[in-house]
Amino acid sequence: MADATNTNAGAHADDATGPVLAADGSPLKSSLNKALRAQKLRALALIAPLLIFVMVTFIAPIVDMLFRSVENQIVSETLPRTVAELGDWDATSETLPDDDVYAALYYDLFIAAEYKNHTRLGSRLNYEQTGMSSMFRRVGRNVGDFGELYLDQFEDLDERWDEEADWAALMAHPGYLEDAAEWRDNRDADRIDPRDTPAPRFRLAPGIADLLPQTAQAYSQYAEFMRTEEQETADEDQPWTLVDTMLYNDLMAASEADIAAYSGPMADALQAAHAAVPEFETATLKELFIESDDEWANLDNWATIKVYAPNYTSGYFLTAVDMKLGPDGMVSQPEDQQIYGLLFKRTLFMSMAITISCILLGYPVAWLLANLPMRSANLLMILVLLPFWTSLLVRTSAWKVMLQQQGVINDVLVWLGVVGDGDRLIMINNQFGTIVAMTHILLPFMILPLYSVMQTIPPTYLRAAKSLGATPFTAFWRVYFPQSVPGIGAGSILVFILAIGYYITPEIVGGTSGTFISNRIAYHISSSLNWGLAAALGTILLGAVLILYWAYDRIVGIDNVKLGG
Amino acid sequence: MKITTALLASTALVVTLSPATAQDMSNEMTIVSWGGAYQSSQQKAYSEPYVEMHPEVTVTWDESSNEAVAKLRAMNEAGNITWDLVDVVAADAIRLCDEGLAMEYDPDDLLAEGADGTSAEDDFGDLIVSDCFIPQIVYSTTFGYRTDMVGDTPPTEVCAVFDLEAYPGKRALEKRPINNMEWALYCDGVAKDEIYDVLATAEGQDQALAKLDTIKDDVIWWSAGADTPQLLADGEVVMGSTYNGRLFSVIVDQEQPVGMLWDMQVFDLDGWIIPEGLSDEELARVKDFVFFATDTQRLADQSQYISYGPARLSSAPLVGQHADLGIDMAPHMPTDPENAKNTLLYNYEFWADYRDDIDAKFQSWLVQ
């Protein structure tokens, strides 16, 4: 600040042609900017803790949540090979995917089932196609048995194919086996905690990856699984039956010369196996899958996997607007499943109705508050604030007692003879009940801004208008009301935005015709666990509010909103 | 000298008796349940006796079971599991197991043998509907009716719900398709063992909704278990579905003019799951507690406080009288032969698949 004043004082004020210069000869403008930048940075540093706090605890979680509405990595992460193989398959064709796809599916599902990821994927896909949840649960139980066909035949050939130590000798690097043995000794003697010091990283035996590429890959994955999930080394258990299937594939593909050239451990067993595999009893994985569960021959299931294979999907948003993502692109949901459009419209309509009833009821109260003597105004203020201090559930349940058919209001009406006992009014479990209960709950949010704005309107204006000949109505309408509009604006925005997100009250008193979109969002968050759809619905709701806010700004002007004097 | 020897001997005894010593176990345990009468029955039957045996343990109860699935997922994503044991209905347990949020267990390893020596797996039998689910009670969703509003012919079968002529007035049904669709099909003439085959088809779903349509204007839809008891007590509805334990307390505790309609009650299960990702110490404590809290006697004890049937076969003969009221509990159990003449078992596999789909249709039908 200090040097800014100095340079300012030394500026050449008489230099009329060029830019105004500071004492050091630099243009005054940039010199000033420089000084101001330091000031701004300091101000920023002061609010930085708050800013970071808001970003970390508020903005980031919301963005993260909303981002779920397009996220869909689960399919490609759980079934990477299948998704790649499915690239060539046309989902609109009437033929099933070919054997390669089923082979890739077997590999993916075997690993997913070991890590227990397959049911999670099943639940995800079940949102789109009914029945996929149990299809994946069933296949998780069966997929481990598919490889037994080959395991049994290898075993019959040579007992060593059943021994973990022999498998490890074939597949693992001798260095790894030494490290593993040492680690095991330490673990068994309790010198290390296997979770703090995981087993040594697996290394393949030299050359085996060229000789038996698929087997090597499957075995490496098995070893990694043992290391991270079981806290064991690869040679402590029999490898997965997936490895046996891959060995069969590799041996069928390998040339006799390559196998004969191999001289490491198990060379004789490999040669014998290579000679025997052409005679093996065999089954394609397509047959095995369909035999275990004919849902795998259902084209709709495959189309769903294909359509939801990309990492990002518009599927959730389409569902949120009563559409569906199919193999042919977007289609409308069947009429008997459309619900969200109706609920969005209803939510907006009812929130507006609640806002308007809040204005109608709140305006006179706020006027009274602002114009009564202090003592009575304070008493009235307490009455306005009282509902704030009562539990939301208590207030809503109280409305139930008041409005139900055997409730207080109906009893009084029947007692007065206004309605007959047989046709008591239905005032709850419908839109009317929701509007009444929510107007009551949100009324303070309308009264308080109105009150604080009205307090600043000098009563002398009204008196002046009247003394100039205005009728009381004209004085109010032409003089008082326009000055209170900023309060109405602030109150309306508060009430409307709160109303749009309410779900407890509509759930309790709304019945079927008085529920909001938020009730569906709550259902998808807590019951169906379809967080993607909940996020999409939430994003749309947020968008709708922002558009309305923008429209409000254009029509009324956001400067015209005041929360106080 | 003698005292030291005695101390040493007793320590040795304790060590040999319990394989996991107290040092290995966490002394704090957070148990999640449903609140209300149900949770207090668990406290009286399970946790209070347990704490008496292990005074070093503090048990905290959290009443979050109705949102346990979402909260567990959120905790899991945040990597901070603060619950040790969670009480959920079986359908939620299956969902949690599918999502990898609940721990799989081996019944014979974790749970006590039955008092008659049967293995835990046989004692619980089919009720272990998921690899993660530790069954506790059998409850049922069934109907209660106002005895003073049904004239001289109290309903004896579930289809009375759809009979507006004989039983005019409002009915309370749960705001979800599960159970309602089954009852609708059953009362529309579908044989009991074909209900789920029919419900799996679009035509069957339409048929069920069409049947529900005949009473739609006279239904109050509930979403909290306490709603129907309140509606019955106030005379708002002539009949309504809810959990049998809630009706028991309306009839027996509050002495309201309400009768039980046991016909076609839908059996469901409630039990524990252990969240995935507990530390060794926490897990050891939870396992110790679960071993105790699910043994034959403890499960039977719970039925002294609430009218839900114990999930163990071996507990059934031990069901006695209500602790405060002194009435025989057996006739109030959903599993009592007199009550269980015509029942339906919640089909978990079916609803795990069809829940999202049928719910969309049901909700869409509801808001029309």
Q: Using 50, 70 and 90 to split pLDDT, how confident is the model at B157?
A: very high
φ, ψ (nearest 5 deg) of residue B309: -80, 140
Cβ(A215)–Cβ(A246) below 8 Å:
yes
Residues paired with A20 in a beta bridge:
none
Task: Indicate if B69 and B109 belong to the same structural domain.
Answer: yes
- How many domains, in total, are found in chain A? 2
**Would you tell me which residues 25-64 of chain A have a C-beta closer than 8 angstroms to some C-beta of chain B?**
none
What whole-number distance in Å separates Cα of residue A266 and Cα of residue A163?
12
The pLDDT > 70 percentage for chain B reads 94
**Would you tell me which residues 506-545 of chain A have a C-beta closer than 8 angstroms to some C-beta of chain B?**
507-508, 511-513, 515, 520, 525-531
Structure tokens at B332: 């109030």
The predicted model gives A480-489 an average pLDDT of 91
> What is the tens place of the pLDDT at every residue in A516-551?
999 999 999 988 889 999 999 999 999 998 998 898
Task: Indicate if B114 and B250 belong to the same structural domain.
Answer: no
Residue A20 domain-assigned?
Answer: yes
Task: Indicate if B169 and B307 belong to the same structural domain.
Answer: no
φ, ψ (nearest 5 deg) of residue A293: -165, 115
Give the chain B residue nearest A340 (alpha carbons): B364
Closest CA to A97 of A325, A313, A296, A381: A296
Answer yes or no: is pLDDT of B50 > 60: yes
Q: Using 50, 70 and 90 to split pLDDT, how confident is the model at A25?
A: confident
Calculate the CA A40 to chain-centre distance.
37
Q: Find the CATH number of the domain harbouring A352.
A: 1.10.3720.10
Pairing of strands B309-310, B239-243: unpaired
What pLDDT score does A3 carry? 44
Task: Indicate if B319 and B349 belong to the same structural domain.
Answer: no
Radius of gyration of chain B from its Cα atoms, rounded to whole angstroms: 23
What pLDDT score does A289 carry? 95
From A67, A84, A110, give the residue that closes a domain.
A67
Answer yes or no: is pLDDT of A562 > 50: yes
Residue B193 domain-assigned?
Answer: yes
Residue B2 domain-assigned?
Answer: no
**Would you tell me which residues 397-456 of chain A have a C-beta closer than 8 angstroms to some C-beta of chain B?**
404-407, 429
Cβ(B87)–Cβ(B33) below 8 Å:
yes
In sequence order, the 6+-apart residues with CB closer than 8 A to the CB of A279 are none
Task: Indicate if B18 and B98 belong to the same structural domain.
Answer: yes
From A46, A67, A88, give the residue that closes a domain.
A67
Answer yes or no: is pLDDT of B227 > 60: yes
The pLDDT > 90 percentage for chain B reads 79
From A17, A41, A67, give the residue that closes a domain.
A67
Pairing of strands B258-273, B171-174: unpaired
Task: Indicate if B309 and B243 belong to the same structural domain.
Answer: no
First-to-final CA distance of chain A: 33
Residue in the block written with tokens 């609803």:
B351
Domain that holds residue B157: 139-269+337-367
What whole-number distance in Å separates Cα of residue A2 and Cα of residue B44?
74
- The DSSP element (H or E) to which B103 belongs, if any, is none
Task: Indicate if B40 and B85 belong to the same structural domain.
Answer: yes
Residue B3 domain-assigned?
Answer: no
Calculate the CA A167 to chain-centre distance.
44
Answer yes or no: is pLDDT of A75 > 90: yes
Task: Indicate if B124 and B198 belong to the same structural domain.
Answer: no
> What is the tens place of the pLDDT at every residue in B330-357?
899 998 889 999 999 999 989 989 998 9
Residue B250 domain-assigned?
Answer: yes
- How many domains, in total, are found in chain B? 2
What DSSP state is assigned to residue A71? B
Taking an 8 Å cut-off on Cβ atoms, the answer to whether B364 and A126 are in contact is no
> What is the tens place of the pLDDT at every residue in B90-138?
999 999 998 899 999 999 999 999 998 999 999 999 999 999 999 999 9
> What is the tens place of the pLDDT at every residue in A438-455?
999 999 999 999 999 999
Residue A244 domain-assigned?
Answer: no
Residue B4 domain-assigned?
Answer: no
Query: Which residue in A130, A337, A512 is closest to B353 by CB distance?
Result: A130
Residue A151 domain-assigned?
Answer: no
Give the chain A residue nearest B217 (alpha carbons): A512
Cβ(A386)–Cβ(A467) below 8 Å:
no
Cβ(B137)–Cβ(B302) below 8 Å:
yes
The predicted model gives A465-491 an average pLDDT of 92
For chain B, how are helix, strand and coil distributed in percent, rounded to 5? 50, 20, 35
Residue B311 domain-assigned?
Answer: yes
Residue B233 domain-assigned?
Answer: yes
**Would you tell me which residues 224-253 of chain B have a C-beta closer than 8 angstroms to some C-beta of chain A?**
224, 234-236
What pLDDT score does B151 carry? 87
Task: Indicate if B301 and B244 belong to the same structural domain.
Answer: no
Cβ(A139)–Cβ(A289) below 8 Å:
yes
Supply the ipTM of this predicted assembly: 0.87
Task: Indicate if B149 and B256 belong to the same structural domain.
Answer: yes
Give the chain B residue nearest A515 (alpha carbons): B367
Task: Indicate if B158 and B285 belong to the same structural domain.
Answer: no
What pLDDT score does B5 carry? 46
Task: Indicate if B236 and B88 belong to the same structural domain.
Answer: no
Contact list, B365 vs chain A (CB under 8 Å) = 336
Closest CA to A431 of A497, A505, A492: A505
Residue B5 domain-assigned?
Answer: no
Contact list, A127 vs chain B (CB under 8 Å) = 356
Answer yes or no: is pLDDT of B2 > 80: no
Taking an 8 Å cut-off on Cβ atoms, the answer to whether B356 and A342 are in contact is no
- The DSSP element (H or E) to which A269 belongs, if any, is helix A267-276
Domain that holds residue A29: 2-67
Q: Find the CATH number of the domain harbouring B300.
A: 3.40.190.10
